[in-house]
Structure 1
Amino acid sequence: MNHDSTPTPPATEVVSTHSVFGAPCWVSLTSRDLEATQDFYSAVLGWRWRKAKLGEHFRVALVDDVPVAGIAAVAAMWQMAVAWTPYFAVPSADDAASRARERGGTVAVGPLSLPPGRAALLADRDGATFGVWEGELVGNWENWRQAAPAFVRLHTRDAFDAAIFYGEILDWASDRPGCCEVHYEGGEVVLRNRGDIVARIESGALEAAPDPTIRPHWQVHFSVPDVAACAREAERHGGSVLGKAVDEAVLRDADGAQFTVTSRPLR
């Protein structure tokens, strides 16, 4: 497993993973070419950029001055895969890493101290990569949720087994105030935080056997006003369209990282 995305540490803020936990709180992309990556996502998603504290190979993407994603142009230099990775808020990155290891997952990187917090890159039992972040969040969590990422979806072989794994690591459906709620809706396991859908886990029909051909992975979905326009810009800037509907399209950027753009409502 590759340590796909080193998280870009957030600026100091009052909202922390001690009050918002278990939900996705950041997304990060590992790429090969910083300028090409910035040009692609500026054209497709309208992002602007600022430098990150981790160094010249890192950038933070902005939507209306709200930080929405981290870019790490280190894939070639560090021989890592090009991919989007979601990070989940946890009270303790060390505890989350230990829980993942105890339950058959893998700890690829960390936990590392990245002021103002700690981070680790993990993989679940089926190899899907995800991160955990402990500490102060990027800006205002509600603004981040509305500015770009709509939700993340895990494509896996057994949604219920995956939900148990993640629930035990991230304290889903616990008795802690503010924890995420787990539901079964429309053939998927759905994670809600404060009423909004923040993650989905799918593995096909409830009665069907797990599909051995699925390569489990987390797919990041970005909320956009015009799916067709994003698809056109992706193709114009060296990317491709892997699947398209009226309100959603699966895209691949010029480096090969997959992501989804959607105009569907969050609830």
Structure 2
Amino acid sequence: MKSDGTLKREVVTSRSVFGAPCWVSLTTRDLRAAEAFYSAVLGWEWRSGTRMGDQYRVARVNGIPVAGVSEVDFVAKTAVAWIPYFAVSSADETVSRSQERGGTTAVGPISLPPGRAALLADRDGAVFGIWEGELVSGWEAWRHAAPAFVRLHTRDAFDAAIFYGEVLGWASASPGCCQVDYEENEVVLRSRGDVVARIHSGAVGAAPDPTIRPHWQIHFAVSDVEACARAARANGGTAHQQGVGSTDAVLTDPDGAHFTVTLRGNI
């Protein structure tokens, strides 16, 4: 506690949870439309005027930053998508390891105080980001505020697990690294005992549909899946459910970005 009686914010860096997802970010062509859609569907509140500039917004849940949204130039043909960012101890070393193992680098590493970031793609083209530095929301607060976990849909789960394990330091001898297990035909990643990522085989490398091509899918925890699906449809998006009472649904925002809502506690 500070001398003025207020609570002192705990500073958590990427080194303490390296290898685990620590942030998610959306690229969109219409920032205002995205704000309106995700406010209606997920109840998010927004903060502007960040150090990232006027074209970047931070979504909050109960005051906790949970996701970033950036507006991209349509002419630049930047993909509209949700992207997970993984915590790393060194952005430069991580980029080098990715390139050595057949990954590609789209952006960075670049300085984005209070840290450094890079945007990469794995051997099958699935896009992901890395972050070195102070975590915006800490980690425990962010994990329990909105994102449930992230899932990679890819051609070969075992090959992908080897790539990410070597690049991000999963299942290494270092203290605090993520644990990797195989459960129910998926590779499961845990950090501090929580399931934070899954890798599933089945994506087709040449498929035109982004839900079939290798990609990371963000799962947001919600208390009412059907209500989110209705809100998505009512606000210009789409929703695909397995049926009434389903514990998850794949939603698409008006700009075409896919994400999943998962019943809270059903991880």
Whether these two folds match at TM > 0.5 is: yes
Following superposition, the deviation at residue 243 of structure 1 comes to 3.6
Could you say which residue in structure 2 is the equivalent of 1:8?
none
Distance 1:72 1:129 in 2: 16
**Alignment partner of 1:19: what SS?**
helix
- Assess if the C-alpha contact under 8 Å between 1:75 and 1:82 holds in 2: no
Residue pairs, 1:76-87, within 5 angstroms:
76=74, 78-87=76-85
Question: What fraction of aligned residue pairs are identical, expressed as a percent?
Answer: 67
Following superposition, the deviation at residue 266 of structure 1 comes to 5.7
**Alignment partner of 1:80: what SS?**
coil
- Is 1:27 the counterpart of 2:27 in the alignment? no
Q: 49-58 or 59-68, which moves further after superposition?
A: 49-58
Could you say which residue in structure 2 is the equivalent of 1:65?
63
Could you say which residue in structure 2 is the equivalent of 1:207?
none
Could you say which residue in structure 2 is the equivalent of 1:248?
248
Distance 1:13 1:84 in 2: 27
- Is 1:44 the counterpart of 2:50 in the alignment? no
Following superposition, the deviation at residue 174 of structure 1 comes to 0.6
- Assess if the C-alpha contact under 8 Å between 2:204 and 2:213 holds in 1: no
Distance 2:265 2:194 in 1: 10
Could you say which residue in structure 2 is the equivalent of 1:3?
none
- Assess if the C-alpha contact under 8 Å between 2:223 and 2:264 holds in 1: no
Distance 2:108 2:242 in 1: 37
Superposition TM-score, scaled by structure 2 size: 0.90
Paired letter, 2:156:
D
Superposition TM-score, scaled by structure 1 size: 0.90
Q: What is the root-mean-square deviation of aligned Cα atoms in Å?
A: 1.5
Question: Aligned residues, how many?
Answer: 251
Could you say which residue in structure 2 is the equivalent of 1:112?
110
After superposition, the Cα gap between the structure-2 partners of 1:198 and 1:176, relative to the gap in structure 1 and judged at 3 Å, is same
Note the alpha carbon deviations across 1:220-251, whole angstroms, 9 max, x for none: 00000000000000000000013444110000
**Alignment partner of 1:18: what SS?**
helix
Paired letter, 1:215:
R
Q: Which runs of 5+ in 2 are unaligned?
A: 1-8
Paired letter, 1:165:
F
